[in-house]
Structures are given as structure tokens and as C-alpha cells.
């Protein structure tokens, strides 16, 4: 079963269970997936669906930070609930040790000697880490590794 089919099945279950919070988040996700498919005129595979989910989670985290700064706890709770639902569709995150090992492997494979080779290392890591690690944190780890 593809990730998109799983999401569709979960939407039906949420409807039957009358779980309005979960249903709302899943409907937003399905709308984003369909929008991306219409824009690009392709059927999204699991990797592309994961990228859509990752983008939606990042948007909601930004919203949570802004709502907290504005003192809107009701909106913080709503966005946090959506993050919880969306996170359930993401692959299992990698541990710091696994990420460090992948960085070392990518540095060795690319022959990176300094900061000018960061793009090569990121190009090798991006497909392996998509949806499984925060790429901003990975970027910082690569910079630290290449600065040695």
C-alpha cells in the first residue's frame, strides 16, 4: 500500500470515528498532495508525498512559534495537533549516530576536502535523509565536519 493510499484510508477511518481534528489535518494533507499533482501534472510517489508532509510540518512549526509569541495558546494547540497527525506519516527519524556515520561516508565518497565541497556532500546525503532528519541540522553538522 502506498503512503497516499494509507492517508486516504485513514481519512475514511477518521470520518467514521468522527475525529474532527484528525480528519481536518488529513484533509489539508490530501488537498496539498492533489495541488502538487495538478501543478506538476504527475502522480506523486511516496518520496514526493513525504516531501509534501515535511513541508507542511515545517509550516506548522513556524506557525506555532509565531502563535506562542502572540500569546495565542488556542492556535498553538490546534497547530500542534496537526503536527502530531502529520508526523505519523513520516518515516522513522535517524539517530544522531546514524546521521554522523552517513555524513562520514558521504565525505569519504565525495572526497570533500573543505567547505567548498559542501554541495557535493549534501547532494549525496539529501536522498538518504529526506524526511528522516532535519536538513538544517544536518547542514550544520556537515559544516562542522568540513571545518576540521
Does domain 96-147 bear CATH number 3.40.50.150? no
pTM for the model stands at 0.75
Whether residue 77 has pLDDT greater than 90: yes
Of 52 and 119, the structure prediction assigns the larger pLDDT to 52
* pLDDT tens for each residue of 61-74: 999 999 999 999 99
The residues, any chain, with a CB within 8 Å of residue 14's CB and separated by 6 or more, are: 22, 23, 26
Residues 83-100 have a mean pLDDT of 88
What confidence score (pLDDT) does residue 133 get? 81
Q: Which of 63, 93, 105 has its CA nearest to residue 80?
A: 63
Residue 85 or 46, more confident: 85
Domain positions in the chain are: 3-88, 96-147
CATH topology of domain 3-88: Hypothetical Protein Yqey; Chain: A; domain1 (1.10.1510)
Cα(50)–Cα(36) distance, integer angstroms: 12
Amino acid at each position: 500500500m502506498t503512503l497516499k493510499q494509507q492517508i486516504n484510508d485513514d481519512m475514511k477511518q477518521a470520518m467514521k470515528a468522527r475525529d474532527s481534528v484528525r480528519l481536518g489535518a488529513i484533509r489539508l494533507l490530501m488537498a496539498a498532495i492533489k495541488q502538487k499533482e495538478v501543478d506538476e501534472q504527475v502522480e506523486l510517489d511516496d518520496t514526493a508525498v513525504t516531501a509534501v508532509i515535511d513541508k507542511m510540518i515545517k509550516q506548522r512549526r513556524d506557525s506555532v512559534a509565531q502563535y506562542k509569541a502572540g500569546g495565542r495558546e488556542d492556535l498553538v494547540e490546534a497547530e500542534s495537533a496537526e503536527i502530531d497527525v502529520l508526523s505519523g506519516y513520516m518515516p522513522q527519524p535517524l539517530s544522531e549516530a546514524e546521521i554522523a556515520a552517513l555524513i562520514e561516508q558521504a565525505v569519504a565518497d565525495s572526497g570533500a576536502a573543505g567547505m567548498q565541497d559542501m554541495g557535493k556532500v549534501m547532494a549525496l546525503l539529501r536522498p538518504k535523509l529526506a524526511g528522516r532528519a532535519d536538513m538544517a541540522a544536518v547542514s550544520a553538522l556537515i559544516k562542522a565536519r568540513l571545518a576540521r
